[in-house]
Each structure stands twice: as C-alpha cells, then as structure tokens.
Amino acid sequence: MENSHFVYMLKCKDGTLYTGYTNNLEARLDKHQRGKGAKYTRGRGPLVLEAYEVYETKSEALQQEYRLKRMTRKEKEYWIEQRKG
C-alpha cells in the first residue's frame, strides 16, 4: 500500500491500549515488538494489533489518531469492535 497512512491500536500485555500513526504498518509493528517503538510500549510486550485504518493522506490519519487518543477506554473498545466485524 504505497503512500498509505495508518492509524492503529495495540493491546499491551498489561491490558492497556496504545494508539499510533505510521506510513509503514509492518515495519512499525516490528519496531514495537523489538522494544524500539514508542517509549510507552517498551516493556509492555507482547503486543497485539487490535485494529487499524488506512488513510490516503497523512493529515487525515493524524487527525484520526488525535481523536482516538482523546477517547475513553470504552469508546476505544467500541472502535476496535467495529473494525473486527
């Protein structure tokens, strides 16, 4: 998916949720799993990709990431469930 932008949500080993943005989902997930990603996820693995969305522009993706980070836990869980089908 060239020129795609992703917003994703991970579940950490301690049950917390992490929301992030990337333009290369596979590489970013690998970094998180190796402890080279965000400080928040270091030491909280193994991590599970719960859900993600693809956007055409970086701006759209970053706006969605911002909205997700402001959601309550319950709202985030609903967002995840909607993407799991």
Domains located in the chain, CATH noted: 5-84 (3.40.1440.10)
* Rg (the chain; Cα; Å): 12
pTM given for the model: 0.92
Per-residue pLDDT of the chain (85 residues; tens, 9 = 90+): 568 999 999 999 999 999 999 999 999 999 999 999 899 999 999 999 999 999 999 999 999 999 999 999 999 999 999 998 6
How far apart, in Å, do the first and last CA atoms of the chain sit?
Answer: 22
CA distances, 81 to each of 16, 51, 77 (Å): 16, 8, 6
